[in-house]
Amino acid sequence: MFAWTPERTKRLRITLVALFVVLAFGAWFGWYKFFRVVPQPPFATADERFKYGSIGGEDSAGIPYWIVYVLPRVFPDKLPGPTGYASFGFSWEEGTELPIGFTKKTIGFPRVANNCAGCHVASYRLSPDDTPKLVPTGPNHTFNLEAFFRFLVDCARDPRFNAGTLMAEINLAGDLSWIDRMIYRFVLIPITRKRLLERGPRFAWIYNHGLPQWPDWGRGRDDAMNLTKYFLTTSPLDDTLGPTDMPSIWNLKKYKTNPGTRMNFAGDSWDANSVIIDSALGLLGAGPANNRMFLEEIKWLTKYLEEYQAPKFPLPIDQARAAAGKAVFDANCASCHWSARTGTVVPVQEVGTDIERIKSWNKAAAVRSNETVRALGIERRGLVEADPTGYIAAFLDGIWLRAPYLHNGSVPTLRDLLEPVAKRPQVFYRGYDVYDSLDMGFISREDQAKRLGTSWDAVKAVATPYDVRWRSNGNMGHEYGVTLPQGEKDALIEYLKTL
Amino acid sequence: MDDPWRWRFWTLLAIVVGVPVLAGVLLALRFLPDRPVTYANIEDHFKYGSTGGERNAGFPLFIWKALPVVFADKLPRNGATGYEAFGMIYEKDEHGRPRELPVGVMRRRNLGLDRVFVNCAVCHSTTVREAPDKPRKVYVGTGASHFDLGLLEKFFGDIVVDERFTANVLVPAVERESGGKLGVLDRNLVYPVAIALMRERLLMLRDRFLPLETEKWGPGRVDTWNSAKAGLSFVISGLPEHERRGAVDFPSIWNQRKRKHRDDGQPMQLHWTGNNVSVEERNLSAAFGTGATPRTVDHAAIGRLEDWLLDAAPPPFPFPIDRAKADRGAAVYTKHCASCHGKSGQDFSGAYVGHVTPVAKAGTDREHYNSYTYELATNQNVLYAETRYRFTHFRKTDGYANMPLDGIWLRGPYLHNGSVPTLRELLDLPEARRATFYRGYDVLDPVRVGFVSDVPEENGRRFTFYDTKEPTKSNRGHLYGVGLPPADKDAIVEYLKTF
């Protein structure tokens, strides 16, 4: 017969205590290795924080550090070029562990995610032997975001994405403890693979490339509104395509001080705060883990971007010629680019540029997006709930660094833009960052490269071919100033350097 | 009644538990020890001591010894046998017999085997004879002018795809090398597994390094940065052609302390292109060549070498020096050379010492400069990640570093690419420098200073032809002092003998 003898009670008590200790240790261990949040070390400058500061992406979209680390070593064949992560055209500072726009934060284990700077730090060189100059908040015209999206999914789809292969490479590169190696082998690698594979179907439209008329985004562009549709609101894929240049995001205050202006290429969003929130949510790939912290970072970013000023043209400017150019500008350009109309929508029928970007967005998508963000408990003025009708007449501050031109980056230099459509280049190369101060833009054609004595830096090897005959890549429209005499064009270009 | 069962129980327990425990202990004793062969004498430690790389890349000793026997047909056909065909040096032991391993090969008990691999000394020590009939002396700390690393790498790449690289062929060869003392476990398990693992690793390395065409480097030279790119899994064949080759001479590594300060108080720019200012980081970078990865590196052993190299000094010039002539030379040198190369072999002060001279101004072969790219520099930022040794100092520079000339008499041939056989020729116009010569012969030229370079063969050992018309081998540039009167040039050379 069972009876609660004192001895049995004691034994039970000991067992329970032991059990509790084991469970408590297990819970602590699980928390420590998987959930413990270690804040990033403080940043010395605002620029550093912009470049490497977490916006919260590590929770939902973070990839374990060592997996990010070894992917280009295990899958060099899936990279867009021969030079590891550098081949994506990230801006990567010498001496810095991760490319700009990559954030590293420990949540249990070190994780890597992305922030705004990945697409919004520009690089340029004045000669091929220079190291790149980096401009925070400038457009990253060298970064092949689409290739990066595809790389992660393609790696996960490859049979080499397994614990054995990845661990062999990790062991060559790092010095992980036994327990961390086990965690990677049995937990992180399989889960990461699963998560990356889940991204695949949503990205189906970026795998269409190669179909007739369906171009790559290429370096320096993304299909921003489709990303919003498919990822923020999980709308079904449609047949639209609207890749546009990564925009500069300096001096956002101008949208505040000029009432009636809107943001995004087609004026799809009411204000800077909304655009920043929506873009950041895109990077998180999910609602923030902590709304308060997320919105605090947004507030900081908004302030930083409002204040940051466009960089000055880095070479001497012929002031007399620029002064003459100002007259040309006032007569031919100012009505859109320096007037009350600046920052407002110009109907596409009027400007005549490629229409595909406009077709990639609509009222229903805006309504759904606004609902989605509201449901996350985030208040913002949001997206304009109307079908887009045209393109924003751009503010031209820092226009020298914003090549290639037009919303879809279809015209390589400002001088090309002052030519009639028939005379604009049909094929050129994007993503090479040596600056062409004569025509204002980046060197983008081999003949030019030869002319400037830089033919050694094979533009082809580092740039993405960009052919304006592909759908959405049209270089038509905006035929303003194309009939000006050569001298006036030269003067106008000189003036544009001063903006 | 219980007694026989009790006896049986204990016997059974002893068999079931005791035997596996005993076996485990024996196996642990066999396979767990990790012991480098160490040397009290620092020069011996340099020549034969461990960097830890054997734990990653080490060949089992008997396999190392068997390879040139089994694959004798794959050795360079230059009249030498064994590893001497690559210019490796076997010293004599205290009994006057050749040592088991050549200079620059280290040894460690690891994973139940003696494992061997090359260490720092293989590229940083050389032999010298004062005349053809004089004895060979080994000097440490200078570039291994006669060692052909490229051919050694080619050899390993060739044999691993040879049909004889199997346990069937190699185990009997190992048996012979061991003097017939191979145990059952070794013969049937340890060596077959070791051979399979070696094959896997060598195939991986072959895959990455084959595109470097290492056989074209020639003795005394290495394509440092393309090797680094290959290690980082860059797709060499995808790089622009002008970045794909850049072989240079192995440098001397004495007097590191003096390289930590130059006249402006900053550390000197190290490496031929001056791409790193940290002695310690440079050392860890070079140690990758010995197989030392973050996980396997022996920081203590390398630290010992590092400390020694701080003040290790080159040996004195082994021939008489004309002091009066050297004094005259000192005056000319001070005027024409000292600002870039230091006051003397001991005093490295000078306004430009340890600074970089732009490549166009130096005028020397560009290929090595081209081979070090911004993309590589940024990728190097992740080496030793997540440790306190993470690389942060690599920078793309605009030319070649001005080097101190300590021990310059022992550092021939000259210029970064070893394209000028003697110092005296370096003071002449490129057209007057020898267009072709031979490398690998170790007799000194006491007049022009450098190695005698017009000997194609000695006692059946053929040396390596160097043609300055070939890529990476140009002898142009460095036109400093070429206009001086011949007597002044002779005097400079006399002064340089004192360095």
Tell me the mean pLDDT in the region B255-267: 96
Proportion of chain B above pLDDT 90, given as a percent? 93
Tell me the C-alpha distance between B66 and B74, whole Å. 13
In a domain, A39, yes or no: no
Number of domains in chain A: 1
Residue A452 scores a pLDDT above 80: no
Q: Which chain A residues in 457-496 lie under 8 Å from chain B, judged by CB atoms?
A: 457-458, 461
Contact call for residues B124 and B138 (beta carbons, < 8 A): no
Residue B2 scores a pLDDT above 80: no
Tell me the C-alpha distance between B314 and B311, whole Å. 10
Residue A87 near chain B (CB below 8 Å)? yes
Residue A319 near chain B (CB below 8 Å)? no
pLDDT of residue B279: 95
In a domain, A3, yes or no: yes
Residue A453 scores a pLDDT above 70: no
Longest dimension (CA), chain A: 111
Q: What does the pLDDT look like over B376-432, one tens digit per residue?
A: 999 999 999 999 999 999 999 999 999 999 999 999 999 999 999 999 999 999 999
Nearest to B293 among A99, A110, A172 (CB): A172
Range of the domain at A20: 1-34
SS3 call for A152 = helix
Centroid of chain to Cα B225: 14
Q: What does the pLDDT look like over A370-402, one tens digit per residue?
A: 999 999 999 999 999 999 999 999 999 999 999
pLDDT of residue A465: 61
- Using pLDDT thresholds of 50, 70 and 90, give the confidence band for residue A462: very low
In a domain, A8, yes or no: yes
Q: Which residues pair with B92 in a beta bridge?
A: B98
Q: Which chain B positions have a beta carbon within 8 Å of A456's beta carbon?
A: 240, 242, 370
Residue A467 scores a pLDDT above 70: no
- Using pLDDT thresholds of 50, 70 and 90, give the confidence band for residue B159: very high
- Using pLDDT thresholds of 50, 70 and 90, give the confidence band for residue A233: confident
- Using pLDDT thresholds of 50, 70 and 90, give the confidence band for residue A457: very low
User: Scanning the structure block, which residue is given the tokens 């908040």?
Assistant: A137
Nearest to A84 among B237, B379, B393 (CB): B379
The CA-atom distances, in angstroms, between B317 and each of A469, B130, B252 are 70, 10, 15
Residue A87 scores a pLDDT above 60: yes
Centroid of chain to Cα A49: 16
Tell me the C-alpha distance between A138 and A117, whole Å. 9
Contact call for residues B365 and B472 (beta carbons, < 8 A): yes
Residue A461 scores a pLDDT above 60: no
In terms of CA atoms, which chain B residue is nearest residue A170? Answer: B295
Sequence-ordered strand ranges (E) for B304-433: 356-358, 399-401
Q: What does the pLDDT look like over B192-225, one tens digit per residue?
A: 999 999 999 999 999 999 999 999 999 999 999 9
pLDDT of residue A61: 86
- Using pLDDT thresholds of 50, 70 and 90, give the confidence band for residue A448: very low
Contact call for residues B140 and B185 (beta carbons, < 8 A): no
Nearest-neighbour CA in chain B from A132: distance (Å): 9
Q: Which of B204, B210, B234 to mutate to test the interface with A (most CBs of A within 10 A)?
A: B234
Chain B residues with a Cβ under 8 Å from any Cβ in chain A:
56, 229, 232-240, 242, 293-295, 359, 370, 373-379, 381-383, 385-387, 390, 392-396, 398
pTM, two decimals, is 0.91
Residue A460 scores a pLDDT above 60: no
Q: What does the pLDDT look like over A412-446, one tens digit per residue?
A: 999 999 999 989 988 888 888 899 999 999 988 76
Nearest to A73 among B232, B370, B374 (CB): B232
In a domain, A27, yes or no: yes
Tell me the mean pLDDT in the region B435-452: 96
- Using pLDDT thresholds of 50, 70 and 90, give the confidence band for residue A209: low
CB–CB of B374 and A458 under 8 A?
no
Nearest-neighbour CA in chain A from B267: distance (Å): 16
In a domain, A12, yes or no: yes
In a domain, A45, yes or no: no
Higher-confidence residue: A112 or A286? A112
The CA-atom distances, in angstroms, between A339 and each of A114, A202, A282 are 37, 41, 33
CB–CB of A95 and B238 under 8 A?
no
Nearest-neighbour CA in chain A from B127: distance (Å): 34
- Using pLDDT thresholds of 50, 70 and 90, give the confidence band for residue A207: confident
Proportion of chain A above pLDDT 90, given as a percent? 75
Q: Is the dihedral of CA A146, A151, A153, A158 positive or negative?
A: positive
CB–CB of B381 and A461 under 8 A?
no
Q: What does the pLDDT look like over A119-155, one tens digit per residue?
A: 999 999 998 888 899 999 999 998 999 999 999 999 9
Residue A469 scores a pLDDT above 80: no
CB–CB of A173 and B378 under 8 A?
no
Residue A463 scores a pLDDT above 80: no
Residue A41 near chain B (CB below 8 Å)? no
CB–CB of B393 and A95 under 8 A?
yes
Q: Which chain B positions have a beta carbon within 8 Å of A73's beta carbon?
A: 232-233
pLDDT of residue A1: 61
Interface contacts (A, B; CB < 8 Å): 98
Nearest to A95 among B370, B376, B381 (CB): B381
Tell me the C-alpha distance between A468 and B464, whole Å. 54
Q: Which chain B positions have a beta carbon within 8 Å of A86's beta carbon?
A: 374-375, 378-379
CB–CB of B233 and A74 under 8 A?
yes
pLDDT of residue A210: 59
pLDDT of residue B499: 96
| Average pLDDT along chain A | 90
Nearest-neighbour CA in chain A from B428: distance (Å): 29
In terms of CA atoms, which chain B residue is nearest residue A75? Answer: B233
Q: What does the pLDDT look like over B163-201, one tens digit per residue?
A: 999 999 999 999 999 998 889 999 999 999 999 999 999
Residue A212 scores a pLDDT above 80: no
Q: Which of A38, A75, A129 to mutate to test the interface with B (most CBs of B within 10 A)?
A: A129
In terms of CA atoms, which chain A residue is nearest residue B291? Answer: A172
